[in-house]
Structure 1
Amino acid sequence: MQRRQFLKLGALGVAGSLAADFRLHADGLPLQGEPVPRPDGKAHRFSFGRRQFLLDGKPFQIMSGEMHPIRIPPEYWRQRIRMAKAMGLNTVSLYLMWNAYESEPGVFDMTSGARDFVRFIRLCAEEGMWVYLRPGPFVAAEWDFGGLPPYLLRDPSIVVRTKDDARYMAAVRRYFDHVAPRIAPLMVANGGPILMLQIENEYASYGRDLGYLEALRQLWLERGIEGPFSISDGLSQIQSTHTYLPGAALGLDGDTDFDAAQAIAGDHPVWMGEGYPGWLSDWGDADFQKDTFEPTLKQLLATGRSFNLYVVHGGTNFGLTSSGGSRMDGSDFSSVTTSYDYAAPINEHGAPTPAYHRFRGLIAQHLHRSLPEVPATPPIAGFDTAVAEPVASLWDLLPSPRKVREPRSNEELFGQNQGMVLYRKRVRGRELQLAGVHDYATVFADGHYVDYVSRIDKPSLHTSGRFALDDGNERTLDVLIDSFGHIGFAQQRGDRKGLVGSAQLDGHALLDWDVYSLPVDDALLQRARNAPAPSAPDRPGLFFRAEVVRDVEADAYVDMSAWCKGYLWVNGHLLGRYWNLGPQQRLYCPAPWWRKGVNEILVLDFHRTHGAPIAGATSLHA
């Protein structure tokens, strides 16, 4: 999904264009109430007829809901799929996030935990659901770097999403070489549930080289994936860039002018590739985003138009997986919250929302048949409030530094994708000016906290990058920089982390730094667990620990509203980022990550120096 490029239309402008298209589709629709074909392990033929999809030669209306297995604990995959089916959908759409499967060049993991997308797709087939697969290489999806592996950013001259950069295309080929053999047996022609495969994602919002899309399609064909293929984008972007891929189904993202899109696609199918029942939330939003899709859904159903709800279930941006966002020039930076609830019909912990029941009623009425019973929601329970107390200091855990002449990005210096970096130097001066902080810095002089600067520009935040050091005496300057996810929206071409600009003191460039790499990973967590008591307990940058006792196997939300900004772990699982900026104050932790009995909660907070309460809750919203 490409934010800010497409309107959240609701019912605006829908009735006219859909009604006009009804004349083209009404005679070819399956009879209402007729059983919907389901995957059965046998080979089927999914193809394109005149302006419609065909399954085994008969018109087929795709009624899809998107969810991403990488955002869902595998223990809950079947329940979420069954929820989509019980809402009346016949297809599950999913992205494959390339960087979730290839952590370093040539280092792949496509089988552990939530990475086992083959198992997820087979579960869809077992539950009688077709699959619409969107494997990238770029996906957007509010996911770190839009799914591209951040190791690409270690080369400062690389250009992504182009056929003309041999380094990028070599990485794409390597990814396709690993994923294609897993996809091929799952295609509908081979007895699997995958109906159609998307080529790239929302490319028209980024570039205008149709040859790039054609090159990607050719790579799939060479690896035995024969389609059918689709693209998905905003109508105005495609009209401007002329990047419709001939022969592909044309999915409109948030747009409903199907007549105009049909003029581009000729007689190939045009459908709603992404329809938005909700919307994402950024840190600093006044509240969680909401929207209404009901009027649009009514019209889509009434006219037999195929559609994909983005998303039917959002899940969670666990760990460091959420993306940043910005304008084309990199300004107006934002960051997506840890929760990807999205106001979706199936909420973050798998429960039906009021919209779910409304949509289910509309679809049942459209199909003229009863739907499966709504599955039970996984249990959820809070826990007694506990106070987390300081147990370790980040300043006692520093590795050996690297000496650098000028600041450079974490990716270039250390091959570090996200997390923290510390710049240290002896200085003498009065006013510090930092430029290019990606994305949040706290500044210290001789160990004393001075202030912070945020790349996210909100009225309540400090964004100038100017710091007064008062008397001008010689001191040790520490600049601790934390990162949000890499920009993952289609219009941005690269987003490196750390100090990517300059540092000046009284107008003079600061050079010759000691730089410390501090990735937020399991190694850091283990060092914090084994560290002695903080040597400087009044210096922000502390780890806190609490124990909570649970006697039930249930999900829970961890309420962090008493805290400032940082990272949260439960029993070694990094839930993600929290920030009192809001709107999110509670982080979802699924039942499989809890234990019966004593559970460890660890917190790294960038501002607090004293313990604070951590509470259990049963919903995202207070």
Structure 2
Amino acid sequence: MQRRDFLRFAVLTPLAAAIPVAFGEANKISGVEPAPDGKSHTFELAHQHFLLDGAPFQIRSGEMHPARIPAEYWLHRIRMAKAMGLNTIAIYLMWNYFESEPGQFDFTTERRDFVRFINLCQQEGMWVYLRPGPYVCAEWDLGGLPAYLLRDPSIRVRTKDDARYMQAVQRYMDAVAPKIAPLMASRGGPILMMQIENEYASFGHDLAYLQRLKSMWQAHGIEGPFSVADGLGQIQKTGTYVPGAALGLDGDTDFAAAQALAGEMPVWMSEGYPGWLTHWGDPDFQTGNYLPTLRKLMAEGRSFNLYVVHGGTNFGFTAGANARDDYANFEPVITSYDYGAPINERGESTPNYHAFRKLIAEHVSHTVPEPPAPPPTMHFPDVIAHPYASIWDNLPLPSRMVKKADPNEILFAQNQGMVVYRKTLLSGGMLDMEGLRDYGTVFSDGKYLDYVSRVNKPGLHVKNYVDIPPPANGAGVIVDILVDSFGHVGYGQAMYDFKGIVGAVTLDGEELHNWQAHSLPIDEAYVAGLPPMRADSPSKQRPGMFFKAIVKLDNTGDCYIDMSEWNKGYLWVNGKLLGRYWRIGPQQRLYCPASWLSRGHNELLVFDMHLVAPTTIRCSDRLNG
């Protein structure tokens, strides 16, 4: 059973009977709750409680990630969480979102200014529980670790025993810690507590690694307090509880057993799941039933963090994937991170939101504020996207000649995107690509033959071979393999999830060498430079096509762009990659915030791996239904 499946099962089971009552038998939290006010506050872990300025304090937290929320909506989402009765926002920091290349940090563009987000939390009277990694999981690409680490195939991650990894971690902390330290509650900021790594017991058993990370934060002037978060059984088995830290249970609810491990330190629910993650090919969007658990937590005065109160969107290439420890059962995460959360992807309240709000309001003495209205929506009529450019007319030069089809990260220092492997074969036969990651289309002299896939879902099956027809008249045949990658696995032992082709390619059992390889990062620079396809292009009927549509708008607003008429590929809006789509669903509509659009002309650019004919793009006001 994989971690997320295990935790989902655990959190939906009844709470253990012998839960210690945090604040006596009272059902009400009395008095006015303290809020961050720019003054220094003490937050301590003692007597099995969280103590804020010496008084017991219940953390009622909801998690949301600035990287998944349009920056102009940060304030709205924080206010929605506050209006549900929460007093804290939990935040992951995704290392690879700030440092995509070694030493090149960006804390200002797009949704990266986490300091501003935390300041907005303080402005709204919300405390912060910060989870800065270096590893976070979060169904994010490689769990937040930079994929550039994989350019060295011998590196070991999440260990103190690999100097290369720890040097990269040190560089990350050197960049991010000076931004965090002034925001700690002891220095007048809203951050109550910092998490050390994330769910490490699900990966390793070296307590000294976690202690090293704690010391590294302390060396930057961040004294804590600190917490660790994991499944109870996993942390018991590995012995990776950090003494002196709060013990957070992810999904597990046996607080009594956890307290025996934590001693005088507080135990709380660091991740409680109102909904669940969804993978491509799942039969439907995942949901949950968290109300009974929340009712018990509130009755007992137990601190908790809802994972997530608002999920947001895996814009661009940021969505991760799951797999077994042997890399089988690969399951990529969809573009939407709606997660069945009480605040949906575009900031609307759900029935769960109102049920949770009502329940929390019954247990607090202050009046819970009214939720703000959701941002406005808009609609555009159906448009037809016409063929615009072909990948085959735009293979970057120079190509590389390689002895074998190595991964993208090693061949091109390319983290995601696509790659073309090309070779002339003098005979036909069974072409086997067992190490292809993650999805490919195979061509013979420009003719599409078949797909290969690492994903096994209804309507699709794992397949790594294609029958190559013999060359006509004894001449050679040019075989092209267009490989598309999903996000890197972000959980468990399958953290070395190289992309492209990672094993031998054989023809009737004989390994093929000397491939011509073309890097296709399909990043914004590549897409911006695409020339229109010539009328006489030989690629006009060859799958691997870009399509373009123009949408004229009088006013902007949020919308969902419906890609249900398409097969598999990517959608850019005005030059920015919104995310992936795939016919196997369950997601067919991609959330597009108003800020990605403008009055007047808007360009929708689609790359589809299979279609060649003009196809319809539709507009909706919701993710599904």
Which of 529, 540, 543 is equivalent to 2:543?
Answer: 540
SS of equivalent residue, structure 1 residue 92? strand
Q: 1:479 aligns with which of 478, 481, 486?
A: 481
Q: How far off is 1:30 after superposition?
A: 9.9
Kindly tell me: are residues 531 and 17 of structure 1, through their superposed partners in 2, closer, same or farther at Cα, counting changes over 3 Å? farther
Shift of 1:160: 0.2
Q: Match for 1:35 among 32, 35, 48?
A: 32
In 2, the alpha carbon distance for the partners of 1:110 and 1:263 equals 41
TM-score, reference length from structure 2: 0.97
Question: Within 1, Cα distance between the matches of 2:204 and 2:292?
Answer: 33
Query: Structure 2 counterpart of 1:120, which letter?
Result: F
Other-structure match for 1:424: 422
Q: Which runs of 5+ in 1 are unaligned?
A: none
**Which of 188, 207, 214 is 1:210 aligned to?**
207
Alpha-carbon shift at residue 472 of structure 1 (Å): 4.8
Shift of the 444–17 alpha-carbon distance from structure 1 to 2, 3 Å rule, reads farther
The alpha-carbon deviation at position 433 of structure 1 amounts to 1.0
The answer for the alignment partner of 2:597 in structure 1 is: 594
Partner of 1:318: 315
Specify the code of the residue in structure 2 equivalent to 1:507. G
Which of 497, 516, 521 is matched with 2:523 structurally? 521
Tell me the distance in 1 between the aligned counterparts of 2:97 and 2:514.
35
Q: Using the alignment, how far apart are the partners of 1:469 and 1:331 within structure 2?
A: 26
Counterparts of 2:422 and 2:13 in 1: how far apart (Å)? 54
Q: Structure 2 vs 1, CA of residues 10 and 146 (structure 1 numbering), >3 Å: closer, same or farther?
A: closer
Counterpart residue number, 2:587: 584
SS at match of 1:170: helix
Equivalent-residue separation in structure 1 for 2:214 and 2:16 (angstroms): 34
Residues of 1 paired with 2:577 and 2:612: CA distance? 21
CA distance in 1, matches of 2:70, 2:194: 24
User: Which residue type is aligned with residue 176 of structure 1?
Assistant: M
Contact preservation (8 Å) 2:548, 2:603: yes
> In the alignment, which residue of structure 1 is the partner of 2:467?
468
Where 1:443 maps in the other structure, the secondary structure is: strand
2:190 match: 193
User: Match of 1:452?
Assistant: 451
For residue 483 of structure 2, give the secondary structure of its aligned residue in structure 1: strand
What is the deviation of 1:31? 5.8
Question: Helix, strand or coil for the counterpart of 1:13?
Answer: coil
Instruction: Give the secondary-structure state (helix, strand or coil) at the position aligned to 2:369.
Output: coil
The alignment status of 1:232 with 2:229, answered yes or no, reads yes
Residues of 2 paired with 1:130 and 1:79: CA distance?
A: 16
Q: Is the 8 A contact 2:195 2:229 kept in 1?
A: yes
Q: CA deviation at 1:549?
A: 1.8
Match of 2:490 in 1: 488
Tell me, in whole angstroms, the C-alpha distance in 1 between the residues paired with 2:192 and 2:224: 8
Aligned-pair CA distance for 1:493: 2.7
Output the CA distance in 2 between the equivalents of 1:26 and 1:547: 62
State the one-letter code of the partner of 2:37: D
Partner in structure 2 of residue 49 of structure 1 = 46
Query: Could you tell me which residue of structure 2 aligns to residue 178 of structure 1?
Result: 175
For the structure 1 residues 11 and 160, does the alpha-carbon distance in structure 2 shift closer, same or farther, using more than 3 Å as the test?
closer
The 2-side partners of 1:468 and 1:513 are apart by 19
Deviation at 1:531, TM superposition (A): 5.1
Cα offset, 1:490, TM superposition: 3.4
How far did 1:319 drift? 0.2
How many angstroms apart in 2 are the aligned matches of 1:337 and 1:117?
24
Give the equivalent residue in structure 1 for 2:261: 264
Partner of 2:411: 413
Q: Which residue of structure 1 aligns with residue 4 of structure 2?
A: 3
Contact 1:430 1:470 in 2 (8 A): yes
Structure 2 unaligned blocks of 5 or more: none
Closer, same or farther: CA 417–538 of 1 in aligned 2, 3 Å: same
- Residues in 1 aligned to 2:524 and 2:572: alpha-carbon distance in whole angstroms: 10
CA distance in 1, matches of 2:348, 2:84: 12
How far did residue 6 of structure 1 move? 1.7
Is the Cα contact below 8 Å between 2:566 and 2:615 reproduced in 1?
A: yes
Q: Are the counterparts in 1 of residues 16 and 253 from structure 2 also a CA contact under 8 Å?
A: no
Whole-angstrom distance in 1 between the partners of 2:151 and 2:604? 34
Query: Does the Cα contact within 8 Å between 1:538 and 1:609 map onto a contact in 2?
Result: yes
Letter in 2 for 1:509: E
Residues 369-393 of structure 1: per-residue CA shift (max 9 Å, x gap): 3211110100112210001000100
Cα distance, 1:250–1:74 mapped onto 2, change above 3 Å: same
SS in 2 for 1:113: coil
User: Residue 384 of structure 2 contacts residue 616 of structure 2 at CA under 8 Å; is this kept in 1?
Assistant: yes
In the TM superposition, residue 363 of structure 1 has moved relative to its aligned partner by 0.4
Shift of 1:445: 0.2
Q: 1:153 aligns with which of 137, 150, 154?
A: 150
Task: Return the alpha-carbon distance in structure 1 between the equivalents of residues 50 and 367 of structure 2.
Answer: 24
Residue 570 of structure 2 corresponds to: 567
SS at match of 1:16: coil
Secondary structure of 2:541 counterpart: coil
1:127-166 deviations in whole A, cap 9, x for unaligned? 0000000000000000000000000000000000000000
Label 1:414 to 1:190 Cα distance change in 2 as closer, same or farther (>3 A): same
Deviation at 1:535, TM superposition (A): 3.5
Question: Does the 8 Å CA contact 1:3/1:489 hold for their aligned counterparts?
Answer: no
SS in 1 for 2:298: helix
Q: Distance in 2 between matches of 1:532 and 1:212?
A: 57
Match of 2:294 in 1: 297
Aligned residues of 2:142 and 2:495 also touching (Cα < 8 A): no
User: Residue 2 of structure 1: CA displacement?
Assistant: 5.2
How far apart are the structure 1 equivalents of 2:407 and 2:291? Answer: 45
In structure 2, how many angstroms separate the alpha carbons of the residues matched to 1:143 and 1:39? 30
Alpha-carbon deviation of 1:507?
Answer: 1.4
Contact 1:95–1:133 (8 Å) recurs in 2 = yes
- Residue 530 of structure 1: how far off its partner (Å): 5.1
> Which residue number corresponds to residue 125 of structure 1?
122
CA distance in 2, matches of 1:566, 1:11: 35
AA aligned opposite 2:420: L
Q: Which amino acid aligns with 2:580?
A: R
Q: How many residues align?
A: 618
